[in-house]
Structure 1
Amino acid sequence: MEIRIPEQKPQEDPNKNFLHSTTARIIMVGVLTLVLLIPLQYVKNLIFERSQLQRHVEKTVSDQWGGNVYVYGPVLKIPYKNLKENGATSYAYFFPEKLDINADARSESKERGMYKAAVFNAGIKFRGTYTTPNFSRSGIAPENIDWERATIQLHTGNLKGIKGAVAINFNGKRYNFEPAEKENVNDSTVALETRPFNIVEALSGGEVPFSLDVSYNGSKSLAIVPIGKLTETKMTSNWKTPRFGGNFSPEKENISNSGFTANWKISHLNRPFAQQHFGSLPDLKAYSFDVNFLIPVNEYQQNERAAKYGFLVIGLTFLIFFLIQGLSKISIHIFQYIMIGLALIMFYTLLISITEHSSFRFAYIVAGLAVIVMISLYSISILKDRKFPMFIAAALTALYTFIYIIIQLEDYALLAGSIGLFLILGAVMYFSRRIDWNK
């Protein structure tokens, strides 16, 4: 009698089953996404280094041409005997009764290789009137005032940028300015000062006019302090993208493709300092009105913002391939995921390199198209079908367009990003509902 031994089915290796499971694929793709953050960080460091080089070029051009322009004047300076300090000489400073300023800044971009820096030449005209200084509020007796040794000062933070000689016409007489010694260590300015003259004779007509013209080579910003009892300022320039700052905003501004015009009208009641000072002048830099002449678009800042969304782009792209793999039962090797991830990283190196020779928009379009075409063609060989690669190309196009819109939006970036991510989550939930997660 023949005894048959039942055939035993080969036992399946649980480790092998696990490696081919959906859970294992999710883990591997997740780990790969985190690993790709390393080269993405290198890209961010590259963008930072190039932006630092841009700042270095701006500083070099600024130092050579002339730095930020900060100016105020004219200031009437009169010495007196300070009885509180045993008769030592002190100084009283008086600001104009009326001050009209007309500034015209002709700007341009200086290039150093592929980098640019904004510079300008500003012609500033000061016009106004002075009245006889009043010492009565300070309790200084007339005999202690040295009226014959009065001077006029012009305060500036940029001596290097001044072009040519500077002189003031005060009541019909011309007085030249020369650099003066720094009187107040807390003051951020350097003073130009005239030779001493008799202020009583100069103000013999009561309210007297003055005119002062100064020309500057400067860069980045032009700041003026409104020291008149009433200060009216008009500034014009051919710079198309000014940014107004400082302590006062212009009353009127007109910006066009040919430049801008801005007007300020500031009373002494609008500022927290008086018309006269005894002993020393305070630092008035915080009370200026400014115009910034900056390069309109910081390309490196936009590159940096784009790179911050790199993790989102990599994660969503891998998610698209993972969903296609789950729905179509097509096996995608981890090496193929690596190739796709590296292609996504290359987008950012292309973006920054093309941006340095063109605009950010053009660079974004070229880099985006290059990566989308590369991944789409690679997907045809992976997925063995043209339907899924077309879907991948459309999805990547929508994703890069979404990222570009977020980068351009500043005030509404969070709102647009939140709505977009919500829609993406809804799409993922919809397409993943048919996947059998138990396999």
Structure 2
Amino acid sequence: MSTDSTLPDRLNNWMKHSVTLKLISIAVLILILLIPTSMVKDIIYERETLSQDAIQEVSSKWANSQTIKGPILTIPITYYSTIKNEDGSFTEISRNLNILPDDLQVNGQIDPESLKRGIYEIVVYKSKMNVNGSFSLNPKFDKTNLKQIHWDQAFLTLGISDLRGIKDNINLTWGDKKLRAEPGSKIMDVISSGVTIDLPEIDQDKQQNINFNFALNLQGSENLSFIPIGNTTEIKLTSSWTDPSFNGNFLPNDRLIDKNGFSADWKILQLNRNFPQSWINNKYSSTLDQSAFGVDLMLPLDDYQKSMRSAKYAIMTIALTFLIFFLVEVLNGEKIHAFQYTLVGLSLCLFYVLLISISEHSNFNLAYIISAIAVIGMISLYSISVFKSRKITLLLSAVLCGVYGFLFVTLQLADFALLLGSVGLALILGATMYFTRNINWYAINSKKLNEATS
């Protein structure tokens, strides 16, 4: 065959056989495949948003997360103004003296339930709590220009963030008296949502401690929190939920989590928080909420989070698969068209769509295995006709199994995901460098061009 060729012919041969151009083309194709990968992430985000909407809808009907604040004893007081009126009298100013209990103990049992809204699962709970403690009626406060303490108007307020969760009437034992709670809060600037209990004449008890207790049957969703308002606050919770997450300003002093559920004990002192035992009006209302603590009854690592984390490894999966195809093309002389690369890349992207759709109806691990088998099987069968070699096809299948197996282990070990990911990528890069160390890329490129022009 003549060696004479025109410039267009030589350019065409170079484009067909240039290893460098092939590498650039594969790199560009990988970047283009990040577009469908990004669309997959949008699908995962959209499905997660629908799940959150389902949770909010169920919570709005059952009851939202609950925060218990109180009880707080409030006594109206009257001061004289420091400025005289024209007639020589002083204006009277009304204030609320808020007093916190000397000690507060809560013993609670949380019974979780799983509700369904369509294909989505929502965790709710019913709780039974026994609350007891004591108040000292000799508080420290500013008595300058004090006119009167209205002991006969004293009342208790118990803050409950979502009143729809109250399942039984709240009956308070105050000393030896039985009192009943009424809806609403009289101190909205301190407790915006709660119940109020009007107290009888307590002036005669102001030199002693008064004990109180009441039962609280409350239901809510996902979270139960408390405000440590006692001089000493002790909370004891037990539940059959096996995957709690303790949050807020204080962690339990003691906890036990096993296959039967969990138990947790908190003990919080006045010195551990940033507000006193008594104050006037709403001086410390914002500080109260900042000291909240409690427990989340959450489902284990969310399937959508796992799917999103797996999608972040898409570029690694695509690159490794294309690397096998490229090495087969270079070393075995098998021509692989860009369209074939594209089909394989789209198959790898399809894995994540299968994963998210199947996991919504079954266990995530099972969904992962089914999706991996489907994609590996599809690519392996297709590569038989591309490679025309069962041995190389088996090698590709083994690499894909290794990649998806590595990714599966990484997803299960969330705390070590970064470590495993970085070590795995380092090993993959090292192995690639080792197996291609003796390849003379210039010689391969020259040989292909010579064969094409000979």
TM-score (norm 1): 0.93
1:405 is displaced (CA, Å) by 2.4
Whether 2:196 is the aligned partner of 1:193: answer yes
Match of 1:175 in 2: 179
Question: Residue 431 of structure 2: SS of its match in structure 1?
Answer: helix
Of 10, 30, 34, the match for 2:31: 34
**In 2 relative to 1, CA 174–8 (structure 1 residues): closer, same or farther, beyond 3 Å?**
closer
Aligned partner (choices 387, 390, 396) of residue 394 of structure 2 = 390
- C-alpha separation between the residues in 2 aligned to 1:408 and 1:205? 60
Pairwise CA distance, 1:184: 4.4
Structure 1: runs of 5 or more not aligned: 1-6
Q: Name the aligned partner's letter for residue 193 of structure 2.
A: V
TM-fit CA distance, 1:223:
0.6
Residue 145 (structure 1) aligned with residue 139 (structure 2): no
SS at match of 2:170: strand
CA contact (8 A) 2:37 2:314 kept: yes
Where do 1:371-410 residues align within 5 Å?
Answer: 371-410=375-414
| CA positional deviation for 1:413 | 2.1
Q: Name the residue aligned to 1:236.
A: 238
Aligned partner of 1:62 in structure 2 is 59
Aligned residue type for 2:348: L
Q: CA deviation at 1:242?
A: 0.5
Task: Note if contact 1:182-1:191 (Cα within 8 Å) is conserved in structure 2.
Answer: no
2:12 corresponds to 1:10: no
Match of 2:221 in 1: 219
Aligned-pair CA distance for 1:165: 1.4
Q: Deviations over 1:202-249 (max 9, x none)?
A: x27822211121211100110111211111111011111110011111
How much does 1:133 deviate?
A: 2.5
Runs (5+) with no aligned partner, structure 2? 83-90, 446-454
The 5-angstrom pairing of residues 19-418 of structure 1 reads: 19-20=15-16, 21-84=18-81, 86-135=91-140, 137-139=141-143, 144-181=148-185, 183-185=187-189, 187=190, 189-201=192-204, 203=205, 206-280=208-282, 282-283=285-286, 284-418=288-422
Count of equivalent residues? 430
1:4 alignment partner in structure 2: none
C-alpha spacing 1:9/1:322, structure 2 compared with 1 (3 Å): closer
How far apart are residue 65 of structure 1 and its match? 0.2
Tell me the secondary structure at the aligned position of residue 160 of structure 1.
helix
Cα distance, 1:346 vs. partner? 1.2
Runs of 4+ off more than 6 Å: none
What secondary structure, in the 3-state scheme, does the structure 2 residue paired with 1:163 have? Answer: coil
Rounded to whole Å, the distance in 1 between the matches of 2:199 and 2:347 is: 73
Counterparts of 2:398 and 2:177, CA distance in 1: 76
Q: CA deviation at 1:142?
A: 7.4
Question: 2:185·2:191 contact (CA, 8 Å) conserved in 1?
Answer: no
Identity of aligned residues (%): 37
Change (3 A) 1:84 1:213: farther
CA RMSD of aligned residues (A): 1.9
